Amino acid sequence: MIFLKGGNSGIGKETAVDLARRGARVIIACRNVKKAEEAVKEIQRRSSSSNVIYKHLELSDQGSVRRFAEEFIREEPRLDYLINNAGELISREKSFKSFKSIVCSDSSPYNQ
C-alpha cells in the first residue's frame, strides 16, 4: 500500500499511474475533490488498476491531518511507502486554521 500526498496533477499523478500499473494499492490525498475524482478515474484507466482511491487531506490544517490519520489507521491494514509529494513554496491563502502565511512542501527543494 502506497500513500501519495498530492496525486491529482503533475508529478504525483504520473507517479500514481506508474505505481498502480506495477500492482500497488495507491491512495492519493489532496484538497480538490473534483480534480481528485477525475484523477482517480484517469489513473485507474491508464494503469488498468481499480486499486486507486482518493482521500481528502489539507496539509495546512492540523485538524484535517489528524482526521485523515485517524481514518487511515481505522481503514488501512498497512502502509508500505509514504511519498511526500504535495505542497507549495508559499501559499496564496491569507490565513489557515492552524498555520499562517507559509506552507512548505515536505519534499520541496526549498524546504531542505
Ligand X SMILES: NC(=O)c1ccc[n+]([C@@H]2O[C@H](COP(=O)([O-])OP(=O)(O)OC[C@H]3O[C@@H](n4cnc5c(N)ncnc54)[C@H](OP(=O)(O)O)[C@@H]3O)[C@@H](O)[C@H]2O)c1
Given the rule CB under 6 A, which residues bind ligand X?
A: 6-12, 30-32, 35, 57-60, 85-88, 103, 105, 107-109
Query: Closest CB to ligand X among 17 and 57?
Result: 57
C-alpha cell at 17: 499511474
Runs of H (alpha helix) within the chain: 10-21, 33-47, 62-75
Residue whose C-alpha cell reads 487531506 in the numeric block: 57
Amino acid at 19: L
Least gap, CB of 32 to ligand X (angstroms): 3
Query: Closest CB to ligand X among 14 and 75?
Result: 14
Query: Closest CB to ligand X among 34 and 77?
Result: 34
Residue whose C-alpha cell reads 491531518 in the numeric block: 65
